[in-house]
Chains A and B, each alone.
Chain A
Amino acid sequence: MKTLLEVAGLTKRFGGLVAVKDLGFAIRGGEILGLIGPNGSGKSTAMKLIMGIERANAGSVRLAGEEIVSWPTHRIARAGIGLVFQHSRPLHRQTVWENIKLALLPDSLLRLVAGRAVDEHARLIGERVGLGAVLDRHPATLPFADLRRMELAKAIARDPKVVLVDEPFAGLTLGEVENFSALIRSFREEGKAVLLVDHNVKSVAALVDRVLAMYLGERIAEGPAEVVMRDPTVRRVYLGGAIGTHARDIAPEKTGVPLLHVSDLSVLYGKAQALEQVSLEVHEGEFVSVVGLNGAGKTTLFNAISGLVPYRGRINWEGTPLAGRTPGAIARGGIVQCPETRELFGAMSVAENLDLGGQHQKPTERAERLAWLLDLFPILKARRAQMARTLSGGEQQMLAIARALMMNPRLLILDEPTLGLAPVILEQISKALEVLRQATPITVLLGEQNVTFALPHADRVYVLEHARIIWQGPASRFAEEAGAGYL
């Protein structure tokens, strides 16, 4: 079959950050290509570039031979590209039927009545995706999977030549995944070209014909799924390298009341189950790693602990429940989170950022702590007066960690500190964590998808997958028991 979508030299810059660099690939009709990469790899941006939602700085996108890279989104859609977003986007005030009907309408100002044919067509599509029984309901009353079905229905209604699907299976149960895979396979049968964007090769391996792996905006591997999964660059970048056991002193099992005790924690984001009955505990002085891929629920877990999202279940700190405390109070109480997004004050200097972190300490302690941290992270000392947003990614991460440490936390929560950072920076951060562990009685809860970074310092490991804890145990046993099936 002929090539329907051809991308070459696609580049996108956001200020100083290069989100997509010189990306190129081609998809034929009747083919499914998987575009894989962790958060920050540029895969979602690439998809938006193809659809015209973001404007490319350079490169070309050809649809069935026609250059569309500078076209507006609606024109690209009419030319034959359909997009299914990761998060469902229903029109809340319209019924399912009307939502699907909309996708069948031409872009006309004068059309007053949609017509019987359109109504009927919409109904058929609804039935095809399994929404036949709920056509007259409003999206607010539908379960999560049905909303995803409606997104697919809209794409089917557009009858595009090329379909772009973002994270097709996020939030679905195994049964629903099967259902959706069948629908996506039907696109292939119809001769469409399909681009599946996902952070996890495993979940789409069964469906795709080929995989293209991305990292930091660039393509790092391409080929059949099993080949790419075993590619050494891919493994290093996604996992951080070989999962080896590290000889370490096995700390005695901690007993007594844990410092942090999470029991049966469940979090819903709208309809999606972000966390399901998660339980974990952290004892004073321990280093606990929560390992899991993007979307597994690590950030949700940490946000629940920090009081930033509502939850069901119990979270106890030093024996007493955290429920009802404001996030500010929780942070002052000793649980300090350094989030994935870092949340620095970009327009303020390094020194000012650190100073704000130390506001709750007495001035003398604050000064001492600042001096100690600047020794721990010499590069911050050098850049004290610089504005935070002009720092490199690695320097910003160090600033974020240092700022959190200024608060003298009893429990430091680190969410994906290594995301998008070069290996040499990872070394520095790793060393700093080591010093921290030895010099202070600090307790650390680390969330990472980079297993090689997460293991060396950890006493215990939890594995989080699709909102559930699927394994827990000492770090030494991780490699044998859980490590193998990890990618």
Chain B
Amino acid sequence: MRILSALVVLLALATLPFWVSGYILGVLTIAYFFGVFAMSWDLLFGFAGEVNFGPTFLIGLGAYSAGLLDNHGVPVWLCVIAGAVAAVFGGLILAVPALRLRGPYFGLITLVAVLVLQQVIVIFAGVTGGEIGLTINDVLSLDPGYNYWLALGFLLISGIVLTLFSRSAAGLILQASGQDPIEAQVLGFNVVKHKLAAFAISALFSGLAGAMLVFYLGTASVDTVVDISVGVQIIIAAVLGGRRTIFGAVIGALFLIIAGEILRPLGQLSTFVVSAVALGVILFFPDGLVGYLLRRGERA
């Protein structure tokens, strides 16, 4: 039943370019990339139990690597792959020592990572374009409809892969590692190994999405892809939608981006309103929208 309704929604979304304006397609395209960011975060938090306060570290690595390589004439598809690889690499360098730390320290390191990346980009402004940003000459496509389908397809594939992983045997081990690492070890699982794998997967998708986003926007800057508040929005999207649902993160992302656009006429208050709503959700519906609905089903 749920699958049927999902397919219907999917079909509707896929046909949007035929009857909706380029502007709306643009907003949704961004929302879809954001959805991948949020799903990757949820994999790490919801399943491995680790809070990444700086998802934009991974995204930024992917985006800038892809952008820089493109400016050196590397073909687009290779740049995207390189971006993903760079993010995985950076993620593992971050995670190996970070996973040894308990409690708030892990979160702090992830936050510090973003700050460091920001500074590095600013210092080497000659290469990276500093605070102004990097301009990329190639884009994925000039047609908003084509970009839209690319983003939707990417979201779909990522969603399916991440969901399948979370439901797989490996995903089960990961959940155990996150929920009760001592019991997981007693059952014979090397918790650190599995959490590193989760980190790598999260980094892969974040980096991939970051790289693709860069070719959609045609630019990369510290404010868009290596920003702490963007990172916070990703976390909010995942929590709003519902932790540990993967799919919920997409709903949360859609809500945030669309709400942000709708409220744009409010000017500066738009961020305020969205943050206020998010705070309200955290206080009153900590399980998030999708999480709340799913839990009701579980208890029955």
Binding site for B on A (CB under 8 A): 51, 53, 72-74, 77-78, 82-83, 85, 89, 91-94, 98, 101-103, 105, 107-114, 138, 140-141, 154, 158
B182 lies within 8 A of A53 (CB)? yes
| B21: interface (CB < 8 Å) | no
B175 lies within 8 A of A105 (CB)? no
Chain B residues, CB < 8 A from A114: 169, 172
CB contact under 8 A between A111 and B194, given known A74-B188, A91-B175, A102-B173: no
| Alpha-carbon separation in the docked complex, A114 to B173 (Å) | 11
Q: Which residue of A lies closest to B171 (CB)?
A: A112
- Closest A-B pairs by Cβ, 6 of them: A77-B188, A73-B185, A112-B168, A111-B169, A89-B183, A114-B169
CB contact under 8 A between A101 and B172, given known A91-B179, A91-B180, A109-B193: yes
Q: What is the CB-to-nearest-CB distance from B295 to chain A, in angstroms, rounded to a whole number? A: 10
Chain A residues, CB < 8 A from B184: 74
Chain B residues, CB < 8 A from A110: 170
Besides A77-B188, A107-B173, A112-B164, 4 more A-B contacts (Cβ < 8 Å) are A78-B188, A89-B183, A91-B179, A112-B169
A138 lies within 8 A of B172 (CB)? no
Binding site for A on B (CB under 8 A): 164-165, 168-170, 172-173, 175-176, 179-180, 182-191, 193-194, 197, 244, 298-299
Chain A residues, CB < 8 A from B191: 74
Q: What is the CB-to-nearest-CB distance from B24 to chain A, in angstroms, rounded to a whole number? A: 37
Q: What is the CB-to-nearest-CB distance from A373 to chain B, in angstroms, rounded to a whole number? A: 39
Set A74, A82, A98: member contacting B185, Cβ < 8 A: A74
| Alpha-carbon separation in the docked complex, A111 to B165 (Å) | 10
Chain A residues, CB < 8 A from B172: 94, 98, 101-102, 105, 114
B187 lies within 8 A of A154 (CB)? yes
Chain B residues, CB < 8 A from A154: 187
Q: Is the interface of A mostly helix, strand, loop or mixed?
A: loop
CB contact under 8 A between A111 and B170, given known A91-B176, A93-B179, A102-B176: yes
A105 lies within 8 A of B193 (CB)? no
| Alpha-carbon separation in the docked complex, A282 to B176 (Å) | 48
Q: Which residue of B lies closest to A82 (CB)?
A: B186
| Alpha-carbon separation in the docked complex, A304 to B172 (Å) | 39
Q: Which residue of B lies closest to A53 (CB)?
A: B182
Q: What is the CB-to-nearest-CB distance from A50 to chain B, in angstroms, rounded to a whole number? A: 11
B179 lies within 8 A of A109 (CB)? no
B190 lies within 8 A of A93 (CB)? no
Chain A residues, CB < 8 A from B180: 89, 91
Q: What is the CB-to-nearest-CB distance from B289 to chain A, in angstroms, rounded to a whole number? A: 18
| Alpha-carbon separation in the docked complex, A72 to B186 (Å) | 10
Chain B residues, CB < 8 A from A109: 170, 193-194, 197
A73 lies within 8 A of B179 (CB)? no
| Alpha-carbon separation in the docked complex, A158 to B188 (Å) | 9
Chain A residues, CB < 8 A from B185: 53, 72-74, 77
| Alpha-carbon separation in the docked complex, A113 to B168 (Å) | 6
| Alpha-carbon separation in the docked complex, A326 to B17 (Å) | 62
Chain B residues, CB < 8 A from A94: 172, 175
Chain A residues, CB < 8 A from B187: 74, 77, 102-103, 154, 158
Chain B residues, CB < 8 A from A83: 186
| Alpha-carbon separation in the docked complex, A103 to B183 (Å) | 10
| Alpha-carbon separation in the docked complex, A91 to B298 (Å) | 14
Q: What is the CB-to-nearest-CB distance from A147 to chain B, in angstroms, rounded to a whole number? A: 13
| Alpha-carbon separation in the docked complex, A113 to B176 (Å) | 16
| Alpha-carbon separation in the docked complex, A111 to B169 (Å) | 6
A73 lies within 8 A of B298 (CB)? no
Q: Which residue of B lies closest to A80 (CB)?
A: B188
Q: Which of A82, A108, A109, A141 has the largest count of B CB atoms less than 10 A from its CB?
A: A109
Q: Which residue of A lies closest to B298 (CB)?
A: A138
Chain B residues, CB < 8 A from A72: 185, 190
| Alpha-carbon separation in the docked complex, A274 to B247 (Å) | 41
Q: Which residue of B lies closest to A79 (CB)?
A: B188
| Alpha-carbon separation in the docked complex, A242 to B155 (Å) | 75
Chain B residues, CB < 8 A from A92: 179
A73 lies within 8 A of B176 (CB)? no
| Alpha-carbon separation in the docked complex, A141 to B179 (Å) | 18
A74 lies within 8 A of B244 (CB)? no
| Alpha-carbon separation in the docked complex, A103 to B187 (Å) | 6
Chain B residues, CB < 8 A from A91: 175-176, 179-180
CB contact under 8 A between A74 and B190, given known A93-B244, A105-B169, A112-B164: yes
Chain A residues, CB < 8 A from B169: 101, 105, 108, 111-114
| Alpha-carbon separation in the docked complex, A146 to B194 (Å) | 29
22 contacts between A and B (CB under 8 A): A74-B185, A74-B191, A77-B188, A85-B183, A89-B182, A91-B176, A91-B179, A91-B180, A102-B172, A102-B176, A102-B187, A105-B169, A105-B173, A105-B189, A107-B173, A107-B189, A108-B170, A109-B170, A109-B193, A109-B194, A111-B170, A141-B299
Q: What is the CB-to-nearest-CB distance from B91 to chain A, in angstroms, rounded to a whole number? A: 16
Q: What is the CB-to-nearest-CB distance from A276 to chain B, in angstroms, rounded to a whole number? A: 27
| Alpha-carbon separation in the docked complex, A216 to B235 (Å) | 48
| Alpha-carbon separation in the docked complex, A63 to B193 (Å) | 25
Chain A residues, CB < 8 A from B164: 112
Chain A residues, CB < 8 A from B170: 108-112
Q: Which of B169, B172, B299 has the largest count of A CB atoms less than 10 A from its CB?
A: B169
Q: What is the CB-to-nearest-CB distance from B238 to chain A, in angstroms, rounded to a whole number? A: 16
| Alpha-carbon separation in the docked complex, A92 to B299 (Å) | 12
Q: What is the CB-to-nearest-CB distance from A119 to chain B, in angstroms, rounded to a whole number? A: 11
Q: Which residue of A lies closest to B168 (CB)?
A: A112
Chain B residues, CB < 8 A from A140: 299
| Alpha-carbon separation in the docked complex, A223 to B191 (Å) | 39
Q: What is the CB-to-nearest-CB distance from B201 to chain A, in angstroms, rounded to a whole number? A: 10
Q: Which residue of B lies closest to A95 (CB)?
A: B298
A74 lies within 8 A of B168 (CB)? no
Q: What is the CB-to-nearest-CB distance from A464 to chain B, in angstroms, rounded to a whole number? A: 31
| Alpha-carbon separation in the docked complex, A73 to B173 (Å) | 16
| Alpha-carbon separation in the docked complex, A51 to B180 (Å) | 16
Q: What is the CB-to-nearest-CB distance from B178 to chain A, in angstroms, rounded to a whole number? A: 10
| Alpha-carbon separation in the docked complex, A235 to B287 (Å) | 53
Q: What is the CB-to-nearest-CB distance from B199 to chain A, in angstroms, rounded to a whole number? A: 12
Q: What is the CB-to-nearest-CB distance from A217 to chain B, in angstroms, rounded to a whole number? A: 22
Q: Which residue of A lies closest to B46 (CB)?
A: A93
Chain A residues, CB < 8 A from B197: 109
| Alpha-carbon separation in the docked complex, A27 to B101 (Å) | 37
Q: Which of A91, A114, A141 has the largest count of B CB atoms less than 10 A from its CB?
A: A91
